[in-house]
Structure formats: C-alpha cells, structure tokens
Amino acid sequence: MLTPIIRRFSASLGVASALAGLPVQAQRAAAPRTPQFDVYEKSILDLTGAMESRQVTSRQLVEQYFARIKAYDQDGPRINAFIALNPRALEAAAALDAERRAGRVRGPLHGVPIVVKDNYATADMPTTAGSLALEGFETKRDAFMVKKLRDAGVVIVGKTNLHELATGITSISSMGGQTRNPYDPTRNPGGSSGGTGAAVAANFAVAGLGTDTCGSIRNPSADNNLFGLRGTAGLSSRDGIVPLSHTQDIGGPLARTMTDLALLLDATVGFDPADPTTAASQGRIPPSYASLAGEGGLHDLRDVRIGIVPALFGAAPEDAEVGGIVRRAIDVLRGLVGGVFEITIPGYDEALQGAGVIGFEFKFDLMDYLAPFPGAPVHSLDDILSTGLYHNAVSAGLKRQNAVESRHSEPYSAALAKRGVARQTILAAMQAQGLTTLAYPTLRRKPAVIGEPQAGSNCGVSASTGLPAMSIPAGFTEDGLPIGLELLGGPFTEATLIKVAFAYERAAHPRRPPPTTPPLRP
C-alpha cells in the first residue's frame, strides 16, 4: 500500500528525473545546491528562521523529510508510521515558497511540514481511519482543524497510521499494519495516534495532529518522548474527524517541544459553527498560547500547587519502574511551583467507574459521519464487518460495539450522568485542597512488546470528565523506553498547563531522539 507511494517520491528526493537529458553543465546549473540546514531535531522556529534567512526553502524541507521517511519508515527500522504520503506536498511547498518570495508570509507556520492522523478529513487525500473497508474514501473537504492549518501555511507531508478506527492504543490497522516505536521497534508506539507520535519522534515532520478519545494523544506522546495535549471539551472542533465517540473525541497536537505544541494549538483552536461544543471556548482562549511557551514565556509559578495522586500510580510490581521515573520528574516540578502534595480524591473510584461512553456512541456516530457521502465504500459499522476488511486485532471490539441496539438506553444515560459526577468529584477535591493541577503517570506501564496488550492507561481521568490534560516527557526506563507524566487542570486551564510544562522543559531538558532514526548522511 505505502511502498509505491514512497517509490513515487524517491526520484524527487534527488532531482535526477527532473534534470535527465540535459547537458552536464546545464544539470549542474539547474540542480539546487544541497542545503546546509538539516531538519533533524529542528523546531518550528528553527525551520521558520532558516526559511526567512534563505538557508532553505519549504520545498527543500519537504524533500528532506521525504528522504528520512524513505530511509527509516519502510527501510531500516521500518517504523511504518504512514498510511499515505501527500502527492501534492512538494507542489504546496513550492507555492508557499513563491508567496514568501513575494513578501506574503502567513505567520510562523508558513511553509512548515507536519503530519496528520488519517482520521482527519483531507480534501486532497483519502481518509481511511486505518480501515481497508474505507480504502479510497474521499471526503473532498478538510476537517476544520486541517483547514485552519492549511490557511496558516502548513504543508501536510502525509497521513499517519492509527489503531484501526481509533479503537485501541497499540496502533495496528488493516490499512497501515503495525506502527513500531522508534525507541525500540519491537514495541508499540502507543495509540491510537501512534503513527503521528512515531513520525514526530523520528523526525519525519516537525509536529503533528492526533485525536484523543481516551488517551490517544497522551499515550503516544508518553511512548515517544513528546508533549501532547488533550484540551478541554470544546477547545477545538471535531468537525471532519472520523468519530469514535462524539462526547469524548477531541483533536490536538503532538510535538517535540512545548513551543511547537503551542504554535499548532494557536492555529487550530476556536469556535466552529459546525461543532456546537466549541461555543464553550469563546472568551476563554488567550491571544496566544505560543507566547506562554517562548523565550519570553517563563512565568512565576509560585501560585501553582500540584497534587500527586498515588492511586493512579498503581500498586503492582510492574508499575514500580514507571512510578519512580514519574516521581523524579515531579521532583523537578517541585523546584518550580508553589507546592507539590500527595492527595486523595474521596469517591474517585466510584465516580469514574462506568463513566465512559465510547461503546454506546461509536456505532451511531460512525453511521452519522458516513451518511453525507453516498459514494463511500461503506456506510456503517455493520457494513465494515460484512466486508471482512478489518484487522483481526479489532474484530472482537467492533462486533461488541455493533451489537448495541439503540442510540438511547438506560445504561447510556447512566454513563452520561456519571461523567458529571466524576467531573464534580475531581474539581471539588482540587478546590478543597487548593490545587491547580493533578499529576500522575500517563501510562503506568512502559510500551508493550508488539502483539501483547498495553496495560496501565490513566486515560479516563481526562476523557471521562472533559478536563484538559497534558502529557510531558518524564524520562526513560533502564532499557531506553520513554515514559510520560500527565498534568490535569480545571476547565480551560490550558494556559496554566503550558506554562508549567514549558518551565519543566527548560529545567529538565527531557528530549532525547530515538537511536533508530539518526541524522542522514549528506
């Protein structure tokens, strides 16, 4: 599926095909000089600065990322992060280069290459959500967040693999196969946005978009030494995202640095008439998140009080290594904020139990999403099961969710009610103890070996309450696997989470690139 796409681009990585047949002297004159600038581990501001100073063009950036994808995604460690590369990426980059030469620069994302998860609708590429049953499905439109990024001047390098239909956390699908973790290709990259997480960690793009229904941004961020944000419900639009649960779905960024994450956040949040939940964000979004995470963005954090939740660290022997790494990361925060305390949340277990609604909503949400597309290859979960075009790893879950008979039921109503109880339970505990954020492991266990289940997710604290949560890199296990620390705040406190995470980044320098995808030789 992917190999022909990469082969199509391999000629453009050199310019041999474009220059073939010209005299040698003409070839030398026409061939662009190899830029001294290397995209490896560069930030958005690094890319922008290099384009502004004419060290490199957007097209050359895309060519470098394509070269890395060719070397490491299907060859070498075979990370397998992509479902499709964008056949118009070089053309889009060249057009943005022309705009820059003409003096029109859209902003800090002008000409910057990123990746998006393949459950975001894209006008110029199919949207498969990782399922062979949706192969070739064309929406002919961009999801709201994708359109906002294109308007900001982003170049989409390609669409990344995910756990099929976003229904799991190990990133295996019938359309894309198994994505591997660039820190250890025998292990999974988290999910369901594992393709985005692996691609950003491996420097196949500078940053990317994922979606989070229960951990699908935060888990791959933790497993790939990245920063990832699940915003407050309503912070960003779900319009154009293949749904798993309309109540719990939200899109958001994954990035190697906090500034990069904030720049993508600035470009993608805000009110969208097509998504009524975004009305809640009006008046609650600062002028710029990036200003909170830039060189001038260090803030006095003495009013920030962090509550460690021991119950979320786990008590099994298998939880101990991750728990120790996360506590050492919290020790860094202890020196930056006003206080760090171990806390209990009265009634927590009872409040969260049964507050998830994915199983009640997925079947009907998917049907509603596909209904406006009469030419779609399938129109329901039942159709997908009938085709047999899905990975065996998701078979049992899809059949179980397809067995739900009605959109409305007493158990579903009870689960929705529990969400309100869970939210109030956590907010009341935070208020009573004077806390700004809660802290706990994103995942209590390190990335599982491919083929084994991934245990230890704490995804429900945020997903079942609609409260924002940021996963930040906590450190590495003895065998070199990344671990994440999650910070959860009150409604629309993303600005505070960003300030804390940025201060931590400056103090801890947690970024360590994966050993399997080093810089390419010139």
| pLDDT tens, position by position, 227-244 | 999 999 999 999 999 999
| pLDDT tens, position by position, 140-168 | 999 999 999 999 999 999 999 999 999 99
pLDDT over 80 (residue 22)? no
pLDDT tier at 295, thresholds 50, 70, 90: low
Q: Find the DSSP H helices in 371-480.
A: 381-387, 395-402, 410-432, 460-463
CA distances (Å), origin 239, targets 4, 141, 144, 419, 498: 31, 11, 6, 23, 25
How much of the chain exceeds pLDDT 90, in percent?
Answer: 91
| pLDDT tens, position by position, 495-504 | 999 999 999 9
| pLDDT tens, position by position, 218-277 | 999 999 999 999 999 999 999 999 999 999 999 999 999 999 999 999 999 999 999 999
Three-state DSSP string of 53-81: CCCCCHHHHHHHHHHHHHHHCCCCCCCCC
Sort residue 452 into left (φ over 0), alpha (ψ -120 to 50) or beta: beta
Q: Which two tokens stand for residue 348?
A: 């927590």
Summarize the confidence of residues 340-353 as an average pLDDT: 94
| pLDDT tens, position by position, 454-479 | 999 999 999 999 999 999 999 999 99
How much of the chain exceeds pLDDT 70, in percent?
Answer: 92
Which residues are registered as beta bridge partners of 488? 438, 469
Residues 494, 262: Cα–Cα separation, whole Å: 10
pLDDT over 60 (residue 19)? no
pLDDT tier at 298, thresholds 50, 70, 90: low
pLDDT tier at 20, thresholds 50, 70, 90: very low
0.95 cut: is pTM over it?
no
Residues 417, 59: Cα–Cα separation, whole Å: 51
Residues 375, 392: Cα–Cα separation, whole Å: 26
pLDDT tier at 17, thresholds 50, 70, 90: very low
Residues 489, 54: Cα–Cα separation, whole Å: 41
Domain chopping of the chain, boundaries: 3-7+41-508
Return the pLDDT at 522.
77
pLDDT over 60 (residue 397)? yes
The residues assigned a catalytic role are 117, 192, 216
Q: Rounded mean pLDDT of the chain? A: 93
pLDDT over 80 (residue 338)? yes
Return the pLDDT at 296.
58
pLDDT over 50 (residue 9)? no
Summarize the confidence of residues 165-184 as an average pLDDT: 98
Which CATH number is correct for 3-7+41-508, 3.30.420.40, 3.30.750.24, 3.40.50.720, 3.90.1300.10?
3.90.1300.10
pLDDT over 90 (residue 424)? yes
Return the pLDDT at 36.
85
Interaxial angle between packed helices 58-72 and 44-52, expressed in degrees from 0 to 180 and rounded to the nearest 10:
140
pLDDT tier at 18, thresholds 50, 70, 90: very low
Q: Which two tokens stand for residue 87?
A: 């056949």
Residues 214, 459: Cα–Cα separation, whole Å: 5
Map residue 486 onto helix, strand or coil: strand
Which residues are registered as beta bridge partners of 172? 178
Which residue reads 């009469």 in tokens?
374
CA distances (Å), origin 414, targets 49, 281, 351, 356, 480: 53, 26, 12, 10, 43
Nearest Cα neighbor of 408 from 355, 463, 357 is 357
Return the pLDDT at 309.
98
Return the pLDDT at 25.
34
Map residue 306 onto helix, strand or coil: strand
Return the pLDDT at 289.
97
Nearest Cα neighbor of 269 from 468, 72, 135, 77 is 468
Helix or strand (DSSP H, E) at 155:
strand 155-160
pLDDT tier at 28, thresholds 50, 70, 90: very low
At CB < 8 A and 24+ separation, what contacts does 347-353 make? 347/425, 348/311, 348/425, 348/426, 348/429, 349/311, 351/418, 351/421, 351/422, 351/425, 351/426, 352/418, 352/422, 352/460, 352/461, 352/464, 353/418
pLDDT over 50 (residue 3)? no
Q: Which two tokens stand for residue 98?
A: 């022309």
Residues 9, 20: Cα–Cα separation, whole Å: 16
Q: Quick check: 127 and 119 in contact, CB under 8 A?
A: yes
